[in-house]
Amino acid sequence: MRYPAERKEAILKKMAPPMSITIPELAEQEGITATTLYNWRKQARARGQVLPSRSNEPDQWTSQEKFQIVLETAPMNEAELSAYCRERGLYPEQVE
C-alpha cells in the first residue's frame, strides 16, 4: 500500500524528538504495520534524519545518532544551537 508523502513525513516527525513516539505506539495509533514504520525510519536515517530507536533520552542514543547531531550543529552559533535544541527537546549541554 502506498501512503501519501505528507502522511509519511508527519509520522516521521512523531518519531523524532521531542515527541519520540515509539514504533509500536505509532503502529497502533496510525493503523500502519510496524514493519512499514521501521522501514520508513531506516530510509529516513539513510537520508541523515535523527530518529532515536530506544529512548527519547539522548544519553541512551546510539553513537551514530549522537554523531549525526554533532555534525548538524557544528556550524551553528549559540542562538542557532539554542533554537535547534528547543525544536528537538534537547539541552545545549547534551549536544556539547
Measured CA angle at 38 (ends 31, 6), to 5 deg: 60
| Residues 42 and 11 placed together within one structural domain of the fold | yes
Domain that holds residue 72: 55-95
CA distances from 28 to 34, 36, 65 (A): 9, 12, 25
46 in the same domain as 20: yes
Q: What is the mean pLDDT of each run of 10 residues along the chain (96 residues)?
A: 90 84 91 93 84 63 80 89 81 82
Do 43 and 72 lie in one domain? The reply is no
pTM above 0.85, yes or no: no
DSSP state of 62: -
Q: How many domains does the chain have?
A: 2
pLDDT of residue 47: 85
The CA-to-CA distance between both ends of the chain, in Å, stands at 42
